[in-house]
Structure formats: structure tokens, C-alpha cells
Chain A
Amino acid sequence: MIQAKNPMHVDAAHLPDARGHFGEFGGRFVPETLVPALDELTAAFHAAMADPAFQAQYSELQASYTGRPTPITFARRLTEHLGGAQIYLKREDLAHTGAHKINNALGQALLAQRMGKPRIIAETGAGQHGVASATAAALLGQECHVYMGSVDMARQRPNVFRMQLLGAEVIPVESGTRTLKDAITEAIRDWVTNVENTYYLMGSALGPHPYPLMVRTFQSVIGIEARQQMLEQTGQLPDVCIACVGGGSNAIGLFHAFRDDEAVDLVGVEAGGRGIASGEHAARFADPNMGRPGVLHGTRSFVLQDSDGQIMNTHSVSAGLDYASVGPEHAYLRQMERATYTLATDDEALHAFQMLCQLEGIIPALESSHAVAEAIRRAPTLPHDAIVLVNLSGRGDKDLDTVLKALE
């Protein structure tokens, strides 16, 4: 049998515990109907991880289909322009489908196949997870339905067409704020109704246990590769790792391999939208009034909510970061002071987007541009021998309409 080169493993040395808790965060807050389905999913996930055949199948697809490992790129001109720390980019934008989302979608779609669930449902904000799910489903011959807020459908047209071309049905969500939050709610309602034959392919490190653990495990390939590549190419670990945080799957995927490297700073960047004072943002950690621990979509984490516990509307120029809660492990890493979280506004992200285009010939996703913005802010304050590693989680072709409008 072919052995997987880098077998994924469920990291038992770190949380969550058996019930999915990261300290006071995480857990499983769902209607009773879903509890047995989540138990079944947890057991199937652990069995798959322990099965060399599953590992080999996943690893082979990640190499021959996704195109892994993705490279790291030294951003020479950006570094020179800023005149401080050296900036390296982990190029998840070069993964098949143009973002890191494929790592998780392939893993979970294989798991669905193994569990005998022929029908896949997914939610999507920017459309990258929807495209990745539709892609994996096409590859494996599965039926795929993607819930997407109608506001997001309008601002991410190319991805809607892409999903349809791949044979998925895109279901517009008209309830609530018609963005990612409502797409997740609708996907959960579908799952609760069709739980017998349906696999819910959640795209971020959110939701009830085992999703945050499962998504971290499938995305941890980002950090495992990057850590090795940095050691090979620079002979040292980066001083800082930076990633944008919507639900936080690309960030947790990068951070996880560096968890025990205490000298490496881990920095998550939330969507600052039009600024905290405006109230129009998705910065769960940065808003002391509205961002508080709470329960949304099955997990306990930081949630943007009003004084009565109603979930707030959010705003970001990037659909993928436009969400009222954040993965529970990020809330935990922040509480433990292992990671820090900052924000970039719409304007800062757009500025970073343009700089990366012009100085490096790379069109980044607007989501990833938030991480680039933090690097732009931070690099000049650091010495020349310091190294900043940015997770370039996706490419920006999908955002051209939005950017064009914003720059007009």
C-alpha cells in the first residue's frame, strides 16, 4: 500500500477535549436531532485518521490534484519598499481552486464518501469554500448544494458561476442579513432535516464539535509545510506568522504547526470594515461593546451581539470575513495569550491589495489582503533580519468587481 508522506494526525497533545471544548470555548450547542449525527461524524473522523488507506488517498489527491506542497515566496520588492522585516508569503492562492479551502473540502468530501453519505451541503461567504466543495463533489461524484446569502452572491458573481459549472446547486439565502451567517443557519436547517443521507461540509473552524478539530486537522498542512519550508529556505523559523481571521480556518491551519514554537508570534487579523467606531465591521475581538463570549451556530466563542444577545449585522469589504463569530480555538488562543488579534479596515485591505499587485505581481483575495495589511504595518517596525510569514490564503480574481467599485 502507498504510505502517505505527511500523514495528518489528530493532535491529541492540544485541546479540544473529548467534548470539543477549548477551555470555556467550543462545545456542541445544537438541537437534539443533530447530536447523534455529530457523534457519528466524530467517530468516523477518528477512524479515517487512523486508517492508512484514507491517509494515502487524501495525501495522493493533495499532491496530484491540489498541487501541494504550495510554495513560499519571498516578497522581495514589498520588503525593500517597506524597509524592515523580510516578508514571506505562503502561497495557498496557488492551490487548485485558488484558496486554502480545498484542503478541508477534499478531506471532508472523502470522509462523506467513506460514511456513505451521497449528498453534500455547504455554506459559503466569499464562494471559495463553495467552489472547493463543488470541486471535491465533482471529483468524487457527489451531489452538492451550496447555501449562499444573496448579498454575497451579488458581490461574488464569478464564484457563483464557477460552482454552477462544477455541477453544484447554489441556493440563495434571503433571510436575515443575507450573508455568511444566514447561509450557515440555512445549511444547519437543511442538515437537521436531511441528516440521514446528507453530509454537512462546514468550511471554517467553526460550529459544533468535531468541526473545529476536523477543519484544523485538514488545514494544518499549511503550517506543517510552511514551517519546514522556512527552515529549508531561511534556516530559521519566522518571527511572526500572520493570517486573516473570518471563521479562522486558514489562520488555525497556519498557526497550529507553530503552537509550541514560543518565540514565534501568531497574529490573526479581523475585518475592521469601516472602523470600530462606525459599528460596521466584523471585529469580534476588537469591539469591547459588542464582541462578547456567546453561542452562535453550535459553538461558544466571541460573538458580535447587542446587549440583549441578538446577533449583530457585520460588514466587511471581503465576504469571507463578514461573520459575527470566530472559531472557538481562536478565542482560546487569545485568552491564553498564545496568539494576538488585530484588525485591518476595508481601506487598509484595499491598499494592501494594490501594493501586492504592483510590487509582487500577485493579486490576493480581499480576505488575504487583511493579513498583508498587517504585514505592511508591522514590517517597518522590525529589524532587517526579522522574518514575517503571511498566509496568502487565496487569490483575488473573484474580487475584481468589488475592488473596481471600491476604487472608483
Chain B
Amino acid sequence: MDTTQHTGLLAIERLFAAARVQGRTAFLPYFPIGYPTYDESLAIIRALAAAGVDGFEIGIPFSDPLADGPTIQAATQIALENGITVRRCLDAVRTLRAEGVVQPMLLMGYLNPLLAYGLEDFVRDARAAGADGLIVPDLPPEEAELLASACEQAGLALILFLAPTSSPDRIALVARAARGFIYLVSVAGVTGARANLPPDLAAFIERVRAQTAKPLVLGFGISQPDHVRQLHGRIDGFIVGSALVKAAQSGADAVRDLAASLHAATGAS
């Protein structure tokens, strides 16, 4: 086994290579810093790390999260009431690294708090804190030039999105520009646990797959081990957010249990 500790874009690329070798779908949980409290959010992320997840999306709270459904909206609102700032989220990454969390971490936040911090400063400080990539849901590639070049210089992955509504031209554009992986939004809509995967999902994944060999990670609406099993072999990774945040209402144990059952579903059945 390769024991070299890679960072940044390289760490993200290796995550998918490793999962592929093991015949698994990579599991990238989302969790926001500051919910239910700062300390508890870190405890939950440590527990997920111990459960063997493949990487993290670390949520930075924003007052107007327009791509998020009610669960994440409410949780990040509480995080803001707990005094969470961008700086505090970077502290969290630094602390988690110091405590031995080794999996790749991507910071996920809306654009305005990052602009207020200063994009270049943010990229530098995120890298220094130990983050490997950024996900900015309200920043399409056309507007991403500055952030993309700052990330490129720092060796961080700036993740781009595709949606079921994306045209073939757009799929080609994102396939060319993507770093690390492409975030596929499973359904037109906001984040939130859903009972079933959408029926046209397979066709959407195939449309993208036809244009790129880059890792594809599916998010929005995935909440159950059965969803993960259905996706096996079709995608490289998946993101679960709202279901974990909801589980956190019942405590860290509930999060760990859900994560373990999702993780158990990542292999070939």
C-alpha cells in the first residue's frame, strides 16, 4: 500500500483510484461546521472518519443558501447563530487534521462569504489549513475564472457541477474544465433526502459518462443504503448530506450508524 500522504487535487484523484481498485463507490459525507454546536460537529466528522468514509464535504454556513432544502437550511442557520464564521471553519479543518483525520476534505460554501474573506486569501488559508478542494454551488464555470486560477496555483480542486438539465455543450465544457471530480446533481431541485432515486438518472449519468473519464460523484437526494447499491458501478462516488444532518438531531451515534450502513453498501453486492 502506498503510504505517501498526498494533498490537494492529488489526494482527491487518489481517493477515486483507490476506491476503484477496491471495487467500491467512494462515500463523501457532507456535514456543516457548527451544527448542532462547533464541538459536536467536529466530533461527528471524527466519527465519520473513523467509520472509514473516503472524503468529506465540510459545509461553511451562509445566511441565504439557495441550493439547499429545509434540513441543511435550518442546520446552517443554527450554525450561524452559534457564531460560526469562515475563519472558524478553517480552524475546524486545521483541528481535524491535527487530530489525525487523513481523508481528503473539500470545503463547501456559497460565494459571498468567500468573496468577503477574499478569494485568493481564502484559497491560501484553506490550503494551509489542510483542505484539498472547494465546492461553490452558486458559481458556474463562466464566473469562476479567478477562483479557478487561484485553486490551480495552490493545487486545490475546484469542483464543477452538472445537472440533468445540462446540455451536451455544457457537459463538454465542464468535462474539459473539471478538476478532481464532477459533481452530478441527481435531480432538478434543492438538497434534501428523497425516498427514491429519479427515474431518468441512469440516462443522465450515461450522457455525462459518454463525454468524460473523470470521476463522477452524485449528490442531492441520496439517503439510503439501497440508493447506494443501485448506483454501484455507474458512478465513482456519492454525497449524503441532509440525511446525516437529520440523523444528527438524534445524536452522534445515529450519524455513525447511518454512515456505517451507507458505507457497507459501497461495495459490490
B-binding residues in A (CB < 8 A): 19, 27-37, 39, 175-176, 181-182, 185, 188-189, 192-196, 292-298, 303, 305, 307-311
Q: Judging by beta carbons under 8 Å apart, are B73 and A303 in contact?
A: no
How many Å lie between the Cα of A196 and that of B189 in the bound state?
11
A29 and B188: CB pair below 8 A? no
Question: Min CB distance, A322 to chain B, in Å?
Answer: 15
Are the CB atoms of B138 and A175 closer together than 8 Å? no
Indicate if the CB atoms of B185 and A32 lie closer than 8 Å.
yes
Asked if A36 contacts B170 (CB within 8 A), the reply is yes
The residue from B73, B140, B185 contacting A29, defined by CB atoms under 8 A apart: B140
Which listed residue, A29, A34, A194, A308, touches B139 by the CB 8 Å rule? A29
**C-alpha spacing A28/B138, complex, angstroms:** 9
CA distance A181 to B112 in the complex (A): 15
**Which residue of the partner chain, among B63, B164, B185, contacts A31 with CB atoms under 8 Å?**
B185
Size band of the interface chain B makes with A = 35 or more
Q: CA–CA, A213 to B75, complex, Å?
A: 36
Residues of chain B lying within 8 A (CB to CB) of residue A195 = 165, 188
The complex places the Cα of A298 from the Cα of B111 at a distance, in Å, of: 10
What A residues does B114 contact at CB under 8 A? 309
With A189-B190, A193-B190 known as contacts, the answer to whether A19 contacts B161 (CB < 8 A) is: no
Known: A31-B138, A311-B63, A311-B64. 7 other contacts (CB 8 A): A28-B140, A189-B66, A192-B188, A292-B116, A296-B112, A303-B112, A310-B63
Q: Name which residue of chain B comes closest to A188, CB basis.
A: B66
CB distance from B109 to the nearest CB of A (A): 9
Residues of A within 8 A of B98 (CB): none
- The 7 tightest CB contacts between A and B, nearest first, are A309-B116, A309-B113, A32-B161, A33-B163, A193-B189, A310-B63, A31-B67
- Within 8 Å CB of A310, what residues of B? 62-63, 80, 112-113
Q: Are A31 and B117 in contact (CB-based, < 8 A)?
A: no
Q: Which residues of A contact B162 (CB under 8 A)?
A: 32
Residues in A with CB closer than 8 Å to B77 are 176
Inter-chain CA distance A291–B143, complex, in Å, is: 22
Is residue B166 within 8 Å, beta carbon to beta carbon, of the partner chain? yes
CB atoms of A37 and B64 under 8 A apart: no
The A/B interface has a contact count, at CB < 8 Å, of 109
Least Cβ–Cβ distance between A21 and chain B, in angstroms: 9
What residues of chain A lie closer than 8 Å to B111, measured between beta carbons?
A: 29, 295
Which residues of chain A have C-beta atoms less than 8 A from B240's C-beta? none
CA distance A202 to B133 in the complex (A): 34
A192 near B166 with CB under 8 A, answer: no
Given A35-B170, A303-B112, A308-B86: A176 and B188 within 8 A (CB)? no
What residues of chain B lie closer than 8 Å to A27, measured between beta carbons? 142-143
Known pairs A19-B142, A29-B143, A31-B137; A309 contacts B112 (CB<8 A): yes
> A31-B163, A32-B166, A310-B80 are contacts. A192–B190 as well, Cβ < 8 Å?
yes
Chain A residues in 8 Å Cβ range of B163: 31-33, 36
Nearest CB on A from B248, distance (A): 20
B8 to chain A, nearest CB (A): 23
What's the Cα separation between A297 and B114 when bound, in Å? 15
Residues of chain B with a CB closer than 8 A to A294's CB: 112, 115-116
Least CB distance from A307 to B in Å reads: 7
Cross-chain pairs A/B with CB under 8 angstroms, 30 sampled: A27-B142, A28-B143, A29-B111, A29-B140, A31-B66, A31-B138, A31-B161, A31-B163, A31-B185, A32-B160, A33-B165, A33-B189, A35-B140, A36-B163, A36-B166, A182-B64, A189-B69, A192-B67, A193-B190, A294-B116, A295-B112, A297-B66, A305-B116, A307-B116, A308-B117, A309-B86, A309-B114, A309-B115, A309-B117, A311-B112
Kindly state whether residue B149 has any CB partner on chain A within 8 Å: no
Residues from chain B with Cβ under 8 Å of A303 in the complex: 112
Give the shortest distance, in Å, between B99 (CB) and chain A (any CB).
25
